[in-house]
Structure 1
Amino acid sequence: MNLLNKHFMKNKYKNYSSILNKINLSFEFFPPSKLDLNQLFWFSIKKLSSLNPIFMSVTYGANNGNKDNTYNFVKKLKSYTKITSMPHMTCVHENKSQLKKIAVKYWKNGIKHILALRGDYPDKNTKIKMYAKDLVILLKKIADFKISVAAYPEIHPESKSLQSDLMYLKDKIESGAHQAITQFFFDIDNFLRFRDRCLGVGITAKIIPGILPIKDFNQVYKFCLLSNIYVPNWIKDLYLKSNQSVNEKYKIGYQLAINMIQSLYKEGVYDFHLYTLNKSDFIYSICNNL
């Protein structure tokens, strides 16, 4: 834990006891394979909702058969927690007619906040017919949805340059999106530089940092390799070059997430989107101790 203390020493003498009451939280879930999971799962969700998140988002698995589960889970989540539920929508696997039907279905059921994404495609030879910007435009033509889009502090793996990436984001915002949620990251300076670059090209919409607390480093590291996310060497050392027990590694991930949020708060960031991986109790313990 010495490395953790060293890299967040700037927070050591600051009192963050009331930070939870000064920030806006939101959480991401993926649709469980069965909606009728045990009572403990829903109790954990209920605990998270007691933190008064601005919204709870639900991933959209169009390419793995989960898209119907997304709709059902969003409805149940909204009903159970009374918190705004925000489904993800991707367009790479759908045609415009299908997307319109899905959007109308959401709107009629009182679900009016959407995270608009292009989505992943099976291989590089797939011809892309719609991008996130096109989905934003389509949704805005249907109804006055509140639309979030994705942003990439460390550049999208397919982008040609940082500047082109920023311009894609700017296009999405100017097409009707009201805010952006970032891919998760572990280098705070990278996020702060990205925030400055956004302002530099005229993006004034809210940029919400995505935070992925590490409970299983091997799992998270695989995500990082797939998405070209930078993991500082000192974090790798904490997990890979030590003989920490499972419980000690759990504590590292817990403290790392808290320190990241505290450090960003110190830099004027007041909104945080936490990727839960459906580990609600772990996420609750982090948020409750901010």
Structure 2
Amino acid sequence: MKLPGKKGSQAENTPLNLSGSSPLQVSFEFFPPATEAATKKLWTTLERLAPLDPSFVSVTYGAGGSTRQTTHDVVARIRQETDLEPAAHLTCVGASKAEIEEVAHAYWEAGVRHIVALRGDPPQGETEFKPHPDGFSGSVELIEFLKKLHDFEITVGCYPEIHPNAHSSQSDLDYLKRKMDAGATRAITQFFFDPETYLNFVERAASNGVDIPIVPGILPITSYSRIKSFSAQCGTQVPAWLTHLFEGLEDDPATRDYNAAIVASELCRRLQYEGVKNFHFYTLNRADLVYGVCHSIGVRPKSSIIE
């Protein structure tokens, strides 16, 4: 199975670096659990992926800040009970500046030094972002505010296929540059399926003065219907070949996971050939598929981190 890309690409014949000293770095994103069973599953997932020695692990924020306390509890527990480096998502949605300041101070006091600063999605049932009357209008203001509070490491998001609310691809790049100038030190892309989408975006960003690392966000397909829904919300294009590959497999998890592992591994492999050394995985709190993809590109266990 091959992904579409540059004509004549040599990536399909490029050997992978499978040594224990692979130069690749990975990071993982999780969402906060809503039940006790989900909490156990999340911790099992962390235990499974921790030996891959991720550069950091991030925990998302629910729409409208709905998981604020749960996110804080999970991030604090990771900080206290493991050697993993946690990053906490923080958004502008449904929160005043005073509330965001309180949350940021709580993270700093818990030993969390890394924030993923985002504008955030509208609360469930709403389609447009509306700033809190006493809050921030977007992520640039949030980043500037956080940097004045503490010397956080700030990661931001970016959209290689343009943010759904952006007026143009150029204005989207201009806003990414503003986030960098405000203090962001890393950007992670929304998920995508064509390697050229990422490569072209990074090239355009660099030509517009964006010189922070832009890490590709990789989303292995655990459910095609869910991917279609996610893609519609964030503007990601789902190519016809992908639809054809996964059609009819919603009730065939073994075949679906097999295809998902191949697609994600080949995407990473193509990017690796182009010199990409960092990958961020949206895990959806599932370990095995992400672990398998990491294994296939040469990221192997180094030590047991969680005691």
TM-score, normalization by structure 2: 0.87
Does 2:124 align with 1:119?
no
Determine the C-alpha separation between the residues in 1 that align with 2:96 and 2:157. Answer: 21
| 1:232-270 alpha-carbon deviations (Å, 9 max, x no partner) | 111111112789943222111011111111110111111
Q: Which has the higher contact order (CA 8 A, sep 6+)?
A: 2
Matches within 5 A, 1:151-162: 151-162=158-169
The answer to whether 1:139 aligns with 2:146 is yes
Q: Give runs of aligned pairs for residues 1-290 of structure 1, distance below 5 A.
A: 4-5=1-2, 7=4, 10-18=10-18, 21-34=22-35, 41-61=42-62, 63=64, 65-121=66-122, 122-124=126-128, 126-127=130-131, 129-240=136-247, 245-290=252-297
* Compared CA separation, residues 123 and 204, structure 1 to 2 (3 A): same
Q: How many residues align?
A: 287
CA distance in 2: counterparts of 1:24 and 1:216, whole angstroms: 26
1:225 shift after superposition:
1.3
CA distance in 2, matches of 1:232, 1:224: 11
Contact 1:62 1:93 (8 Å CA) reproduced: no
Whether the 8 Å contact between 2:58 and 2:89 is mirrored in structure 1 is yes
CA 1:46/1:200 → structure 2, altered by over 3 Å: closer, same or farther? Answer: same
Tell whether the 8 Å contact from 2:93 to 2:130 is kept in structure 1 after alignment.
Answer: no
Residues 59 and 89 of structure 2 are in contact (CA less than 8 Å); yes or no, is this contact kept in structure 1? yes
Contact 2:71 2:88 in 1 (8 A): yes
Distance 1:232 1:10, change over 3 A: farther
Shift in Å at residue 79 of structure 1?
A: 2.9
Structure 2 SS opposite 1:27:
strand
Secondary structure at 2:216 match in 1: strand
Deviation at 1:37, TM superposition (A): 5.0
Residue 10 of structure 1 deviates from its aligned partner by: 4.1
For 2:77 and 2:251, the matched residues in 1 are separated by 39
Q: Partners of 1:253 and 1:51 in 2: how far apart?
A: 20
Q: CA deviation at 1:40?
A: 5.8
- What fraction of aligned residue pairs are identical, expressed as a percent? 35
| SS of 2:280 mapped into structure 1 | strand
Report the AA paired with residue 238 of structure 1: L
Please, what is the CA RMSD of the aligned residues? 2.2
The alignment's TM-score, normalised by the length of structure 1, stands at 0.92
Query: 2:63 touches 2:121 (CA, 8 Å); kept in 1?
Result: no
